[in-house]
Amino acid sequence: MTLKIGYIGLGIMGKPMARNIMKAGYEVVVHNRSRESVNELVSEGAIEAHSPAEVARQVDIVFTNLPDSPDVELVVLGEQGIIEGAHAGLIFIDNSTIKPATARMIGGRLAENGVQMLDAPVSGGDIGAINGTLTIMVGGPAKALEKAMPVLQAIGKTITHVGDLGDGQIAKAANQIMVAAQMVAMGELLILAQKAGADPQKVVQAIRGGAAGCWTLDNKPQRLFEGNREPGFKAYMQAKDLGIVMDTAREYGIPLPTTSVNTQLFNAMLEMGMAELDNSAVLGVIEALAGEELHIA
């Protein structure tokens, strides 16, 4: 049986992910608050729906990719939400980054209606979404993952079953701790190199092959050297994710001293009017603190 797929939330990440599912040969029903992305995918062969419930009624698996916990809760459990289109055997997969407790609550409500849920947040940014090479961290029932795996393989390269429902979100929180640390560290090292008199481009070349090597140094510096601070992954989303990290840390009594500082730096980005820029543009906060702007190549 060929599965029919629904995708709700067609932003920077969701649109290319839905497109890759279509390219893999699946019939895809799409819904989004803004119609532009819907119209674009419909022109490529997708089917339009006018509510989450309408999507859910038609499909075997329905995905969401939304900004925050309240958005997912509304789309799933609200008026004309996925739960109103629920049917036995439906699988709900959430690609958003939300609170683990919210994922578990939503999954519990859906289970009462015969729906299995997987929380499956992703990492890899818009580049990974476009290329279908995302890292996907999955929590939830193994049987549901087994059924959905071929679809997930259309959008991701590394798919790991972390554990029970909510555990995917815990893995994503851990991921965002590291991402934030790398972005801040990159901003610091670029400004340090330049203000101390070295060429930051050559410094990056010198260190990226050693112990400092990481995804961030492989993908972000050249864009910054060209003066490109457009997303990518928007700063306000990074700040939101760090808020989830800190809320989870408080819930379990976990000290996160470095992440606390990084959270303040990303919140400063928002206060400085950089909310819509790429998360690598946290460099701008370091520039302001140092009184030194990165030279454009």
List, by residue number, the catalytic residues: 172
Rounded to 5°, angle at Cα 277 from 65 and 286: 130
Q: How far apart are CA 9 and CA 269, in angstroms?
A: 25
Q: How far apart are CA 107 and CA 171, in angstroms?
A: 17
- How do beta strands 122-123 and 91-94 pair? unpaired
Q: How far apart are CA 42 and CA 39, in angstroms?
A: 5
Contact 257, 158 (CB under 8 A): no
Indicate the angle between helix axes 167-195 and 100-111, nearest 10 degrees.
150
On the CB side of 146, CA atoms within 13 Å amount to 3
Helix, strand and coil in the chain, % to nearest 5: 55, 15, 30
DSSP, residue by residue, 181-194 = HHHHHHHHHHHHHH
Indicate the angle between helix axes 100-111 and 69-77, nearest 10 degrees.
10
Q: How far apart are CA 151 and CA 290, in angstroms?
A: 47
